Amino acid sequence: MVAPMASSSLVTAAVAGALSHILYFSRGEHQLYGGVYFKIAWVAITASISALHYTQNAEWSEATRTVAQIFGSYLAGVYGHLVFYRLFLHPLSHFPGPVGARISSMYSIQFRRQNTQNLVKLHNKYGPIVRDGSSNLSIVHPKAVEAIYGPKSRCTKAEFYDFAAPSFSLQTYRDYDSHHRRRRVWSSAFSDKLVRGYEKRVRVYQDKLIDRLTGMKGQPVDWRKWSNLYSFDVMGDLAFGRGFGSLEAGEEHWAVSTMIGTMDSIGLFLPTWLLRVLTSIPGLSSDWWRLLAWCAERLQERMSNKLDIPDISSTLIAALGGKKPTHDEWELLTGDSRLIVVAGSDTTAGTFVIMLYMLLKHPAELEKLRAELEPFRDASGTFLNSDMANLNHLNGIINEVLRLYPPVSGVLPRMTPPEGIEIDGIHIPGNMTVSCPMYPMGRSEMNYDKPNDFIPERWYKNPELIKHKEAFAPFTIGEYNCIGRPVALLNLRTTLARLVTEFDIQLAPGETGGKLFKDSKDSFVLYWGELNLIFNPQK
């Protein structure tokens, strides 16, 4: 008696599934509700099996089989219509891209963390605008940067930034007004006076790095490791008033390893709903919760201390006006403290790694840099950022490295406004996710002449090699641009200057850069493989 009922129910279930997609799942955003949907499905399945067993005297196995068939038919209806809609009816159906990407954002999953390289291949095959997800476009057209990220753009942050909700930081706020209010607090932390204070704090760790490299006595060292230790110590100091002790210990603090592991998870480029579901599973996220607790402890300790030279957190804490933070304010403070560490460390560490490699592969550019820097070196061997801010070759090298190997090399997703946007006469529909990945953007012949060549002079001596300067946005632009840009550039300029003037740097015997590139990975931030160098103190 159950079999005919189940058979007739299969068609009804499939139709219900199709209608569910038409009327509900194809509309709005659902990334915050993945866990809820799984719970609803589990309760509905369990209740249906129990109902068949107790009301129709079906055996448990028979009831389970019947409900599985009905639920399977429902899912077939949902996904059958989803595939048909995305292939033929979707607003992006006329944009080129792989069939898998047109059907599902699961196509973007990167088990090898090679999103950037895959984007280059897609753009080489399909052109400047590629559909790389069901509702996603990757765009390397130069006019897209202003249209998507510029100060007049009406694009907002896409659903990706909900990955940590309800925990928020300046970076993850999607609501414009909330982001704008928080950014006003942050902006006070980057006044010229405070940035000069950060320079003094950074110099302490520069001295420690120089001492550790000098102590290697010309033995090969993995520069990737020491660049990481240095960068995380610097940003730990600017977030919590003191570093992680990594340079002294010669190894990563466990909290740093956990932060990098978190970025490794993001580097899978899972759909946001799936990432949230997985991180909600207690056993899979225990390290994350341990990290959050540790950051809260460090921040609590920081709030009880007054510093002679303010750090970035000084401004964020001062905004409380001496009052005890509310729960929401405390969550925001801890989120922002993690943002200081991660955003400032991973990006600069990777840039230092690839920058030294590029200079060693182009020794003439390194010698030009040393000659340019020498007049600005004081008696103690240090440099002031204010003296070097406008040095042509130094800034040319930094810009060229950021063009070829931007630390955030792939997607910074934005959502188009309901009316859509125009890019060079091409209409991009509303409520779609768009991004301008800087790595393929920097290597596009549409934007640069000789795009794969390392030519620092293009930024000051040979501007004809830059076809579209607006395509260069390693710190992005507009309302959501990197607010820490002044500190990042200060660190890059002064640290690079000290390294190249205090050491004769060489590739270690047998070092070809093979592992550097082979083991690199794009985990939202670009991470490099091993690079063995020799640092001999200059005579």
Number of structural domains in the chain: 2
pLDDT value, residue 2 = 45
Last residue of a domain, one of 89, 104, 124: 89
pLDDT value, residue 109 = 86
| 435 within some domain | no
Beta strands in 112-258 (DSSP E): 129-133, 136-139, 156-157, 221-222
Q: What is the pLDDT along the chain (539 residues), one digit of tens a residue?
A: 444 555 678 999 999 999 999 999 999 999 999 989 999 999 999 999 999 999 988 999 999 999 999 999 999 999 999 999 999 999 999 999 999 999 998 988 888 788 888 999 999 999 999 999 999 999 999 999 999 999 999 999 999 999 888 788 898 899 889 999 999 999 999 999 999 999 999 999 999 999 999 999 999 999 999 999 999 999 999 999 999 999 999 999 998 888 888 888 888 888 998 888 888 887 777 887 888 888 888 989 999 888 999 999 999 999 998 899 998 899 899 889 888 888 888 899 999 999 999 999 999 999 999 999 999 998 888 899 999 999 999 999 999 999 999 999 888 999 999 999 999 999 999 999 999 999 999 999 999 999 999 999 999 999 999 999 999 999 999 999 999 999 999 999 999 999 999 999 999 999 999 999 999 999 889 999 999 999 999 87
Q: Comparing C-alpha atoms, which of 160, 101, 172, 84 is closest to residue 135?
A: 101
DSSP one-letter code for 434: E
Last residue of a domain, one of 36, 62, 89: 89
SS3 per residue for 319-361: CCCCCCCCHHHHHHHHHHHHHHHHHHHHHHHHHHHHHHHHHHH
Same domain as 84, residue 214: no
pLDDT value, residue 523 = 87
Same domain as 390, residue 263: yes
295 is in an annotated binding site: no
Structure tokens at 378: 């004081």
Last residue of a domain, one of 89, 105, 125: 89
Same domain as 83, residue 181: no
C-alpha separations of 458 from 143, 279, 436, 467 in Å: 20, 45, 22, 11
The tally of CA atoms less than 13 A away on the side-chain side of residue 74 is 14
pLDDT value, residue 164 = 80
| 437 within some domain | no
| 330 within some domain | yes
Cα torsion 173, 179, 181, 182: sign = positive
Same domain as 526, residue 397: yes
- pTM above threshold 0.75: yes
Q: How far apart are CA 441 and CA 114, in angstroms?
A: 16
pLDDT value, residue 1 = 43
pLDDT value, residue 167 = 80
Same domain as 82, residue 223: no
C-alpha separations of 518 from 139, 433, 515 in Å: 26, 30, 5
Same domain as 182, residue 66: no
Same domain as 372, residue 225: yes
| 366 within some domain | yes
Same domain as 377, residue 259: yes
| 247 within some domain | yes
pLDDT value, residue 134 = 94
> Exposure pattern of 147-163 as b/e (b: 16+ CB <10 Å)?
bbbbeebbbbbbbbbbb
List the CATH number of the domain containing 511.
Answer: 1.10.630.10
Residue with tokens 């460090």: 298
The boundaries of the domain holding residue 71 are 7-89
Q: How far apart are CA 514 and CA 315, in angstroms?
A: 43
| 352 within some domain | yes
| 409 within some domain | no
| 421 within some domain | no
pLDDT value, residue 7 = 67
